[in-house]
Amino acid sequence: MAKIIALAGKGGVGKTTVCSAFVRILGETRPDSRILAIDADPAVGLATALGVEVNETLDDIRCEIIEKAEDGAGKEALELLGEARYRIFDALAEKERFSFLAIGRPEGAGCYCSVNTYLKAVIEMVSRDFDYVVIDGEAGIEQINRRVMEKVTHLVLVTDASKKGLQVARSIYEVADRLVMYEKRGIILNRIDDEELAATLPTDGMEILSVIQSDPSHARNDILGKTIFELEETAPVYKGAKEALEKIGI
């Protein structure tokens, strides 16, 4: 059974950076494993962090099925649904040590309910073909509330020292107790340079997986358009992500 690792938290706390570091570390330490990275955040940042060019997204496939049905091509739509598994695997971007799938950014305004429902089914389906699935979740609590992450085995929350970041992490933590079938969970405190401050943050019983200091080397690489694979192993983000994976038993 695949280990499904989902990262969640408020937007802007470094969730995508940590997620990309997880993918890199798994690829380096488990070269014979099948690894899938899923960008489930409509902000579409994980592809950039991993250096992946996305040609087709999950929402592209979903929209094609809907268009066929609305055009009255019922038989063709049913065939597309039956072939969804193969279409999804065709949409995977293949890299040397991992595969990548993006949820996409729906064209219509408003709620992402339909694509999130589809994403839940996809997670359950494709996880059978991989050893590790790493998901960069949508910012906030929506995907947890809608049970999109129901079958996640490891839930990693990411926050900075802000009150809002901690509140969002706490809310996700509490909701996940009821709605996620996880084996292990914990929180990463990101961009925190003061160890004394880290010790005083109200984590409310959440296990601290790692405390990551501000990382000028990552910030510089980001400005230069470099990927996570061009970051030194001595960088705080890399070391903190590796420590967190070890603490959740990965």
DSSP 114-144: HHHHHHHHHHHHHGGG-SEEEEEPPSSSHHH
pLDDT of residue 109: 46
pLDDT of residue 197: 83
Structural domains counted in the chain? 1
DSSP 139-163: SSSHHHHTTTTTT-SEEEEEE-SSH
Q: Which of 81-85, 234-238, 246-250 has the lowest mean pLDDT?
A: 81-85
Percent of the chain residues past pLDDT 70, beyond the cut:
83
Using one digit for the tens of pLDDT, what is the confidence trace for 153-199?
999 999 999 999 999 999 999 988 888 888 999 999 999 998 888 88
Residue with tokens 């949409």: 91
What radius of gyration do the chain's Cα atoms show? 18
Q: How confident is the model at residue 145 (pLDDT cuts 50, 70, 90)?
A: low
> Residue 65 maps to which CATH number?
3.40.50.300
What are the distances in angstroms from CA 215 to CA 18, 91, 137, 139, 239?
12, 33, 22, 21, 11
- Collapsing DSSP to helix, strand or coil, 12 comes out as coil
Residue 70 has pLDDT above 90, yes or no: no
Once rounded to an integer, what is the mean pLDDT over residues 65-80? 59
Among 46-55, 87-96, 100-109, the range of highest mean pLDDT: 46-55
Q: How confident is the model at residue 110 (pLDDT cuts 50, 70, 90)?
A: very low
Q: Containing domain of residue 90, as a range?
A: 3-247
